[in-house]
């Protein structure tokens, strides 16, 4: 079910009213049933997979806790009682990764096999499988898996009530595209119960309106120029390609941040506070700063469950860079099962490694400490160009298209065929209203910098409520007046 559909509007208000009428366990059971309905609308068979994944991790968490209880009582009889707690953890992680691997990475594996197989380009190539990727599987798999790991680490006790755990995994606002919520956060709020106050309504409604504004007005109006250039990049020149890559960076950011805003707003109206997932990353001054602001729930998940277990930054310098490389390779593959997503992950590693090295030099330290306006502007502009270079891998359908577009960014005719440089590409601008798009992208940057300085929390203060009301009225007007006739699905549904 899409947040921008009338179906969701009816579902949301019905669920909100009934959800507040019921109390206690019946309330949680109702929200769980509503969440399964929300997810099953996409494709009923998705429910089988998420039910199995939920049941498996619930049993794994219970087994880990039971094993530790047996140890505290001096041991117990039986085969299962003798299995170490790590056995159940490993079983949980392996099953989760196996499900994710099959549905998301089977065909990528077949592609790799055909590429290395001597007869991979002939009739003897391994055929691709027809596998329907379940919506949100990358998100709820990581969320469910983190619960089992935390139970094993002793961060929390296994939840005995299966309804509570199932609601944690499938709560509909964040189910299909995050944010990835930790069990420690969600279950604590679940135990505390919710009594909606006036401020919860203000915060929730504000987030929802801002989310729809980001999605329908900003992101979706950038979609035409992005689709136009990426569908036929050979027809466009250097400036066109750069503008399209800039536009896609903003499009996917505003699309995903918009979804997160709506999810956090809806959750708040049910009494749940999800942690912020985007903190104005386009206002960042460095790549490390950028990734501390972009998709925070994923980056912190990978930090806590991948980077730190590998040794984090506590190991030798070479190992640190190896750990960072593993993290970004995993992040690239998490986003998509294709070579161009791997390349995107490698590019993030290259930028972060280069920034770490640069930060240790005398020049880097002196410029950072100077805090000059020129340096602050130049660092942001340079970062945005580097990010936009990488966004081409993220958006292009394959490496061939990405290679073509990267070459054209620097005046090469087609890097897939030759190193022929064509200076005419710098003036070969085919985009209509090119100047208007450049102005729009500049205004988006000012929008980002403004809200980075005056965040929504500033407008929630009682003395700023009139300003907030004015901003929200303007956003609602623009949503009504500027929403395109055709609005695409949220982009992160594909992950």
* Residue 5 in this model has a pLDDT that exceeds 70: yes
Query: What spatial distance separates the first Cα and last Cα of the chain, rounded to whole Å?
Result: 16
211-264 tens-digit pLDDT: 999 999 999 999 999 999 999 999 998 999 999 999 999 999 999 999 999 999
Asked which of 176, 193, 210 is the last residue of a domain, the reply is: 193
- Which of 290, 335, 340, 406 is catalytic? The answer is 335
Judgement on whether residues 136 and 208 belong to the same structural domain of the protein: no
> How many Cβ atoms are within 10 Å of 115's Cβ, its own excluded?
11
Pair (181, 49) in one structural domain: yes
- The answer to the question of residue 116 being in a domain is yes
Check whether residue 303 and residue 426 sit in a common domain: yes
pLDDT in tens, 329-347: 999 999 988 999 999 999 9
On the question of pLDDT at 455 being above 90, the answer is: no
Lowest mean pLDDT among 198-202, 303-307, 459-463: 459-463
Q: 308 lies in which domain range? A: 200-494
Are 61 and 36 in the same domain?
A: yes
Do residues 81 and 45 make contact, with C-beta atoms less than 8 angstroms apart? no
Does residue 1 sit within a domain? no
User: pLDDT band at residue 12, thresholds of 50, 70 and 90?
Assistant: very high
Please tell me whether residues 120 and 84 are part of one structural domain: yes
Residues 219 and 172 placed together within one structural domain of the fold: no
pLDDT of residue 433: 76
- pLDDT tens digit sequence for 149-181: 999 999 999 999 999 999 999 999 998 887 999
Q: Do 284 and 212 belong to one domain? A: yes
Last residue in a domain, options 193, 223, 251: 193
* Pair 112, 184 in one domain: yes
392 occurs within a structural domain: yes
Would you say residue 279 lies in a domain? Answer: yes
- The model's pTM: 0.91
Last residue of a domain, one of 159, 174, 193: 193
d(CA 458, CA 185) in angstroms, rounded, equals: 24
pLDDT for the residue 84: 83
Domain count within the chain: 2
User: What mean pLDDT value characterizes the chain?
Assistant: 88
72-125, pLDDT tens digit by residue? Answer: 665 555 555 667 888 999 999 999 999 999 999 988 888 878 777 766 666 666
Catalytic residue at 335?
Answer: yes
Based on the domain organization, do 239 and 173 belong to the same domain? no
pLDDT at 116: 78
Does the residue 242 lie in any domain? yes
Per residue in 345-356, pLDDT (tens digit) is 999 999 999 999
The pLDDT assigned to 72 comes to 67
What is the Cβ-side half-sphere exposure of residue 126, based on CA atoms within 13 angstroms?
16
């Amino acid at each position: 079910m899409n947040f921008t559909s009338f179906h969701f509007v009816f579902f949301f208000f019905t669920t909100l009213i009934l959800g507040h009428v019921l109390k206690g366990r019946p309330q949680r059971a109702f929200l769980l049933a509503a969440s399964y309905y929300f997810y099953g609308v996409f494709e009923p068979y998705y429910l089988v997979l998420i039910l199995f994944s939920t049941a498996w991790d619930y049993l794994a968490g219970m087994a880990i806790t039971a094993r530790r209880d047996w140890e505290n009582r001096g041991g117990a009889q039986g085969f299962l009682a003798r299995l170490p707690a790590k056995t159940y953890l490993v079983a949980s992680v392996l099953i989760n990764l196996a499900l994710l691997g099959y549905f998301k990475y089977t065909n990528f594996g077949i592609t790799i096999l055909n590429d290395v197989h001597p007869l991979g380009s002939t009739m003897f190539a391994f055929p691709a499988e027809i596998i329907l990727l379940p919506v949100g599987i990358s998100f709820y798999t990581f969320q469910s898996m983190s619960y089992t790991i935390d139970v094993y680490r002793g961060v929390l006790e296994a939840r005995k009530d299966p309804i509570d755990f199932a609601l944690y995994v499938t709560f509909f606002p964040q189910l299909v595209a995050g944010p990835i919520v930790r069990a420690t956060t969600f279950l604590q709020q679940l135990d505390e119960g919710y009594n909606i106050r006036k401020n919860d309504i203000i915060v929730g409604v504000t987030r929802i309106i801002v989310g729809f504004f980001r999605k329908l007005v900003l992101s979706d109006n950038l979609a035409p120029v992005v689709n136009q250039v990426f569908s036929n990049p050979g027809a466009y020149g250097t400036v066109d390609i750069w503008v399209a890559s800039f536009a896609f960076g903003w499009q996917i950011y505003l699309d995903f941040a918009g979804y997160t805003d709506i999810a956090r707003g809806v959750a708040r109206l049910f009494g749940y506070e999800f942690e912020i997932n985007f903190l104005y990353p386009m206002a960042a001054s460095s790549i490390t700063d950028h990734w501390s602001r972009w998709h925070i729930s994923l980056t912190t998940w990978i930090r806590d469950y991948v980077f730190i277990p590998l040794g984090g930054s506590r190991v030798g310098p070479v190992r640190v860079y190896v750990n960072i490389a593993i993290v970004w390779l995993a992040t690239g593959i998490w986003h998509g099962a294709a070579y161009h997503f791997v390349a995107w992950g490698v590019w993030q590693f290259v930028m972060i490694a280069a920034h770490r090295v640069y930060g240790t030099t005398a020049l880097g330290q002196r410029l950072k400490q100077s805090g000059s306006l020129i340096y602050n502007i130049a660092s942001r502009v340079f970062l945005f160009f580097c990010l936009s270079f990488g966004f081409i891998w993220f958006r292009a359908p394959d490496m061939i298209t990405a290679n073509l577009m990267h070459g054209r960014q620097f005046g090469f005719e087609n890097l897939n065929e030759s190193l022929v440089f064509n200076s005419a590409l710098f003036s070969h601008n085919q985009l209509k209203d090119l100047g208007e798009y450049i102005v729009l992208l500049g205004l988006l940057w000012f929008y980002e910098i403004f809200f980075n300085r005056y965040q929504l929390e500033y407008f929630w203060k009682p003395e700023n409520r009139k300003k907030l009301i004015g901003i929200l009225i303007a956003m609602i007007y623009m949503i009504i007046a500027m929403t395109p006739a055709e609005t695409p699905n949220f982009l992160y549904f594909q992950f």
